[in-house]
Amino acid sequence: MIMRFVGKRLMLFVAALIGLSVLVFVMLRVLPGDVAAVIAGTNATPERIASLRAELGLDKPLVAQYGDWILGLVHGDLGVSAIGGKSVAQQVAARAGVTFPLIVLSLLIALAIGLPLGCAAVLTRNPHLRGLFHGIAIVAGAVPALWGGLLLILLFSRGSGLLGLLPAQGFPDDGWSAPMRALASLILPALTTGITAGASIMRYTRAAVGDMASSQAMDMAMACGMTRRQAVLRVALRLATPQLVSVAGLTFAQMVTGVMVVENLFALPGLGAMLVTDVGNRDLVAVQSELFLLAAFFLLLGLVVDMTHRALDPRLKASGVVSGKVNA
């Protein structure tokens, strides 16, 4: 049953990738504008534009263009930027060295905020503290990323901030060869997205652990001699882990799109800034590969979360799926 489940999920993953590739390719072709006209400039002659279209392969039938693109993807070739003439794969790899550390750091901050506060909201019996935790979750989750980032810049940025602790813009030219400088440049952007995401994780944690805290498993744990605090942290939190893993995976996926605003606010050379620039330049080759990679990453993350959830959820084990036998 396990292999059947894995095989079914992999088949759905491949089918979704094919569907997404077609959707990305078609949607970009119906957008207004002509990349050849953008490259040639406003004063270019029709002959020059036609020559560029032939050079870029834009004069071929759409089926042929799609086939060439997919064949390149299969061989790991994302194409060459029509505007800059650089390899898209190399640009994506360089920009990913900024974006994905930012996302991971943001997720760690969100988990460090959401999990303890969510558990604390379940453990406390004080109605005033519960109201305070509820208010924190609502207010922090309602703050727009742009406004929160500007507030952090005013408080902590060097030069213009009140405290002047951290850089507010840019990323070191030598990248991660200077790890402390690189990490310092990501702290404020990570806090901007991590605090908002942490509020969401706090609400999910409070709901999931709270449901488990009122279950029979808690009564059995306390009957065995555990205190309520021990039962919540050792039993209820453990039973809620599969749901929280799914929430963390979805939060990670949401951050991929959320950091696009943050990267532009903090002038970080990440994938978000690259995608916005390429869309503005109408660089079809780069945009279609970047969007496909982002969509493929979302699908892969969903597959991993789905598999992890099934492996961790004891109810699925009890149903006989994991053991390979289906209970009658």
- Give the CATH number of the domain where residue 169 resides: 1.10.3720.10
Tell me, what's the pLDDT at 324?
39
Residue at 222 is within a domain:
yes
Longest C-alpha distance within the chain, in Å? 85
Three-class SS of residue 166?
strand
Tell me, what's the pLDDT at 309?
74
Q: Tokens 């790890």 belong to which residue?
A: 179
Residue at 179 is within a domain:
yes
Q: Report which secondary-structure segment, H or E, holds 89.
A: helix 88-123
Torsion, Cα 104 109 111 114, to 10 degrees, reads: -150
- Please, what's the b/e burial string for 102-140 (b: 16 or more CB within 10 A of its CB; e: otherwise)? bbebbbebbbebbbebbbebbeeeeeeeeeebeebbeeb
Tell me, what's the pLDDT at 261?
79
Q: Which domain holds residue 223?
A: 92-272
Structure tokens at 259: 């950091």
For 184-233, write each residue's pLDDT tens digit.
899 999 999 888 888 889 989 998 888 888 888 888 888 888 888 888 88
Tell me, what's the pLDDT at 315?
59
Residue at 129 is within a domain:
yes
Tell me, what's the pLDDT at 320?
46
Tell me, what's the pLDDT at 1?
61
Residue at 32 is within a domain:
no
What is the C-alpha to C-alpha distance for residues 298 and 238, in angstroms, rounded to an integer?
26
Statement: the pTM of the whole predicted model exceeds 0.75: yes
What is the C-alpha to C-alpha distance for residues 150 and 275, in angstroms, rounded to an integer?
22
Tell me, what's the pLDDT at 112?
93
Inter-axis angle of helices 179-213 and 237-265, nearest 10? 140
CA angle (228, 232, 237) in 5-degree steps = 175
Three-class SS of residue 35?
helix
Residue at 230 is within a domain:
yes
Residue at 18 is within a domain:
no
How many H helices and E strands in the chain?
14, 0
**Closest-CA residue to 17 (of 306, 297, 320):** 297
Q: Which residues of the chain have pLDDT under 50?
A: 318-328
Residue at 323 is within a domain:
no
Residue at 311 is within a domain:
no
Task: Say how many domains are in the chain.
Answer: 1
Tell me, what's the pLDDT at 9?
80
Residue pair 255/194 in contact (Cβ under 8 Å)? The answer is no
Residue pair 287/279 in contact (Cβ under 8 Å)? The answer is yes
